[in-house]
Structure 1
């Protein structure tokens, strides 16, 4: 409100009275008065500036009380609508297990670069690489900036610690002899489902989630191909669902060898008999290759148990499920397959992923050069 008044000498002046709201502690009205303005326009500008300054001060005071978890929960609402269900579910799992337990109640405006660096260092010790939890936390800070809650993202100024090289980094896959022995053991184990599943992983390089999402219509027995167009992921409720592939590059068609096709035919027949025994007709194009109970979809992690069973019973070298993909890639390189062909077959979006494995193979070949050369020369 602007009012006109007079000085003792009769000079005209203007004053402003601004109502700012209620005091959060006392509940009383907050009113600010300023006087001495020579013109009404000058008073009007001062009034606008005063209100803006107060709103900014109040807004900042209010925002400074936000915790990381409060901002994270707001971020999740937007995040859910911009990423795939599997990515959203993974974000929530990482946050619940590894991020929120450490910083949930810390005020969002109180983080320093040093705080964030210490946090990332801790994650690096646990995960061997802190890239994923750092990325999630960084996105939450970015969201807070977008909402004008903070003005800077300290996590963006943090350096990722160098990834620790594990002793058996190069040996987390099977060579030709080890792979042959593994499949001899699987055949001896006597489970056709396991044999078909591991054969697909080892002889196509597909991911376990991609294999578990396959329908029989994705297998072209005539053209000897498998069409990889989807994958199994967990939704926000930890329930397995069919989703898109990991990346656009992961949508691909991969050739199959005759032995793999023969194994798949045997498994298809055995599966049909198993499902028929419980009243389920599997002769439809949407029938999945791998299911359990009443034709239910497997969780991706469930297949890890199959591998553990085989390794434990036959005392085999331990590798992860992803090791079969690594094995396939490595053996392709040993055959002399061009890098671009390997990248396309495995659906690697980033050529660096392919090159990392290529480096392992070529280093091994480099170490064997001297001995192989001597054998070739013969003296």
Structure 2
């Protein structure tokens, strides 16, 4: 039962209890209504929205879904959900979620110009409608048996650097006396770690004697890190001795143990792009250094299980599916080997 109070003339306050999606019976209080009727309508609509009224507009359910996901997923994953929300927020107008049709979904996907983005939006829409079935008593998930022909796009080849490409870049860093950046990019290239994992390193994570880095977190902001992508991402990675020496020469062993050694990844990305443009280097992204490391190991004949463990993948199948095209040049070697048996 809602209670009303006139705070002052033309300023009504309403307060009431409403059970949230997580089961919490939360007290809601809001003022600023010109009339008691406006306050009452606000309370009625709020309760409908939060207690399973399937006539609730789609974008209201979307807001609730976003709030729900914020409590369930990691920060970087939530950023993707927030982007998803921005893309679809206005696509269905004020239609109730129960009246969204397969045609509405198809027309939405038609406006997206890349198959990867189409599939990503479809996956998250499916999760949103499942959420609505649970918390809004929606009887039918419109995404069930949803058939859609995605845009056919040519899969973009991963941009990688060979060892020679990286050494050329490393020489530039030496010439320009960019020693901290040199330490960062050497770790990136020779460890195969993700950019956020390198940015999250502290002195506590470095063993200069054993030449290892302990990857146990990923950087998400200037002063904050999160747990890695998955449990398999927590790992100890060996690095070349010269790579450890570069880092030790830059920071020494008396660096504050709990402080991040490097900045966030974005400034390094801008730095990299400037050098690529200035020196006409082959294009590559920060994540491309990880692909370059995997490519190097594959071409050197390192077993896929060892590569998978080093990269922090859940299993070897993920590694194989991600880097299958790097194995193409091994086909000729197999044919040559078989032909030599004649």
| Greater Cα shift, 186-195 or 129-138 | 129-138
Q: Is the contact made by 1:330 and 1:357 (CA closer than 8 Å) also made in structure 2?
A: no
3-state SS of the aligned residue for 2:249? helix
SS in 2 for 1:233: strand
1:16 corresponding residue in structure 2? none
Distance in 2 (CA, whole Å) between partners of 1:263 and 1:111 is 58
Partner of 2:260: 288
Give the whole-Å Cα distance in 2 for the aligned partners of 1:332 and 1:159.
40
**Structure 1: which 5+ residue stretches go unaligned?**
1-26, 28-57, 273-281, 292-297
Residue 147 of structure 1: how far off its partner (Å): 1.9
Q: In the alignment, which residue of structure 1 is the partner of 2:175? A: 188
Measured in 2, the distance between the counterparts of 1:177 and 1:156 equals 50
In structure 2, what is the Cα distance between the partners aligned to 1:104 and 1:194? 48
Question: Alignment length, in residue pairs?
Answer: 289
Q: Is 1:326 matched with 2:291?
A: yes
Tell me, in whole angstroms, the C-alpha distance in 1 between the residues paired with 2:307 and 2:201: 21
Shift, 1:355, TM fit: 0.8
The equivalent residue for 1:249 is 232
Q: Secondary structure at the match of 2:220?
A: strand
Aligned to 1:262, which of 222, 245, 253?
A: 245
For residues 121 and 186 of structure 1, what CA distance do their matches in structure 2 show? 45
Change in 2 beyond 3 A, CA 1:126/1:220: same
Q: For residues 344 and 199 of structure 1, what CA distance do their matches in structure 2 show? A: 20
> For residues 366 and 176 of structure 1, do their structure 2 counterparts lie closer, same or farther at Cα, with a shift above 3 Å needed?
farther
Root mean square deviation, CA, Å: 2.9
Give the TM-score normalised by structure 1: 0.68
C-alpha distance in structure 1 between counterparts of 2:164 and 2:64, whole Å: 53
Using the alignment, how far apart are the partners of 1:130 and 1:351 within structure 2? 27
Alpha-carbon distance in structure 2 between the residues aligned to 1:266 and 1:159: 58
Given candidates 150, 153, 157, the residue that maps to 2:145 is 157
Q: Pick from 188, 198, 211: which aligns with 2:185?
A: 198
Structure 2 residue corresponding to 1:304, chosen from 262, 269, 275:
269
Contact in 2 for aligned 1:348/1:354 (Cα 8 Å): yes
Deviation at 1:338, TM superposition (A): 0.5
| Deviation for aligned residue 1:153 | 1.7
- Alpha-carbon distance between aligned partners in 2 of 1:224 and 1:367, rounded to the nearest angstrom: 36
TM-superposed deviation, 1:327: 0.4
Would you identify which runs of 4 or more consecutive aligned residues in structure 1 move more than 6 Å?
Answer: none
List per-residue Cα deviations over 1:62-113 (Å, max 9, x = no partner): 93532221001222332222222332233223322x2214346332112222
Deviations 1:269-318 (A, max 9, x none): 4xx9xxxxxxxxx7321021113xxxxxx3x3332102111111111111
**Which residue of structure 2 aligns with residue 225 of structure 1?**
212
Secondary structure at 2:328's aligned position in 1?
helix
The farther-off stretch of 154-163 and 84-93 is 154-163
- Is residue 230–residue 243 contact of structure 1 (8 Å, CA) maintained in 2? yes
CA shift at 1:207, angstroms? 0.6
Q: Which runs of 5+ in 2 are unaligned?
A: 1-36, 38-47
- Residue deviations 1:28-87 (CA, integer Å, cap 9, x gap): xxxxxxxxxxxxxxxxxxxxxxxxxxxxxx99xx93532221001222332222222332
Indicate the residue corresponding to 2:103 in structure 1: 114
Q: Which structure has the bigger radius of gyration?
A: 1
Residue by residue, what CA displacement relative to the aligned partner does 1:175-231 show, whole Å, maximum 9, x if unpaired? 232222222233233211211111111100111111111101101011111000000
* Aligned partners of 2:197 and 2:219 also within 8 Å: yes
1:196/1:94 Cα in 2 relative to 1: closer, same or farther (>3 Å)?
farther
1:327-366 Cα shifts (integer Å, max 9, x gaps): 0011111111100100000001243431134421221333
Change (3 A) 1:156 1:230: farther
State the match for 2:318 in structure 1.
353
Q: Alignment partner of 2:55: what SS?
A: coil
The verdict on how the C-alpha distance between 1:357 and 1:81 changes in structure 2, with shifts beyond 3 A counting, is closer
Provide the C-alpha distance between the structure 1 equivalents of 2:187 and 2:54, rounded to a whole number of angstroms. 54
